[in-house]
Structure 1
Amino acid sequence: MSAKAIHRRYVAFSDAHYAGNLVDGAYALKLFGDVGTNLSIELDGHEGLFAGYSSVEFLAPVRGGDVVEAEASLVRKGNRSRTVDFELRVLCRGTDDAGHAQMLRPPLIAVRARGTAVIPAGTEKSSWN
């Protein structure tokens, strides 16, 4: 299955909560919720309901001033459940306090997760007639 959705976003300095302009892990999970909802709408015509994560790995820091990319990829599609892999990558990072930044090549993988979404009964695209 190759269904996926991708969102890109600039991480505002106001989102940083810790020393070194670090952003909390909940920021990544919020982005995963948004991109997962996007994927559910494209697949099923419904936002879906997120049931939970089976795994979450925080691999590298996300900082204010970064440009990140959140991706949701369909792994398995059951009758109403959807297993989705998520990845948050840092594409750009600031290099100083004067606003200079650079592209990261390759992007830095910051967070990986796997979760399950559920489409409520009677809302599947096949029932839209």
Structure 2
Amino acid sequence: MSKVGATVVHRRYVPYAHAHYGGNLVDGAYSLALFGDAATELCIRTDGDEGLFAGYSAVTFHAPVRAGDVVEVTAVVTRQGSRSRTVDFTCHVTCRGTPEAGPSAAAVLDPPLLAVSATGTVVVPAA
């Protein structure tokens, strides 16, 4: 059965505790960790196993992720081997804090802002 096209979507609020740099910027590893979580769920749903992340063939940082953002991570199987799966990932900022409007103010971004994209490979046990 083909697994190509299988998709998982995760959303998460980025807490201020994860701010790593000036301007409340979050390090790029934050998005990569979310990609790993999405890949794990994708493997469970498609193969009944958590699988293992083998590596990335591409990672591009398009825009910053900041504390106070709401991000949406999508993982899509784009190629299926006997044990490997190629997965395309995106991380979009869907909401962003707007402290200039007030200490707890925030806005929905329409359209969402592409922050990170990547392609990776996961492996699962033989059927």
Residue ranges of structure 1 left out of the alignment (5+ in a row)? 125-129
Q: 1:11: which partner in 2?
A: 14
1:18-33 alignment runs, 5 A limit: 18-33=21-36
Instruction: After superposition, give the CA deviation of every residue in 1:66-124 in whole Å (9 maximum; x if it has no partner).
Output: 00001100000111000000000000000015110000000000000000000123xx3
* Aligned residue runs from structure 1 range 97-108, under 5 A: 98-108=103-113
2:115 aligned to 110, 115, 120, which one?
110
* Deviation for aligned residue 1:34: 0.1
Moved >3 Å (runs of 4+)? none
Alignment-mate amino acid for residue 102 of structure 1: A
Matched, 1:88 2:91: yes
AA at the equivalent of 2:89: F
After superposing the two structures, state which structure 1 stretch, 88-97 or 54-63, moved more.
88-97
1:36 aligns with one of 35, 39, 63: 39
Q: Distance in 1 between matches of 2:83 and 2:48?
A: 12
Unmatched segments (≥5 aa) in structure 2: none
Question: Does structure 2 retain, via aligned residues, the 8 Å contact 1:94–1:102?
Answer: yes
Q: For residues 51 and 71 of structure 2, what CA distance do their matches in structure 1 show?
A: 24
- Aligned-pair identity in percent equals 61
Alpha-carbon contact 1:16-1:23 (below 8 Å) kept: yes
Q: What TM-score, normalized by structure 1, do the two folds share?
A: 0.92
Counterpart CA distance in 1 for 2:52 and 2:71 is: 24
Query: How big is the shift at 1:2?
Result: 2.0
Amino acid at match of 1:62: V
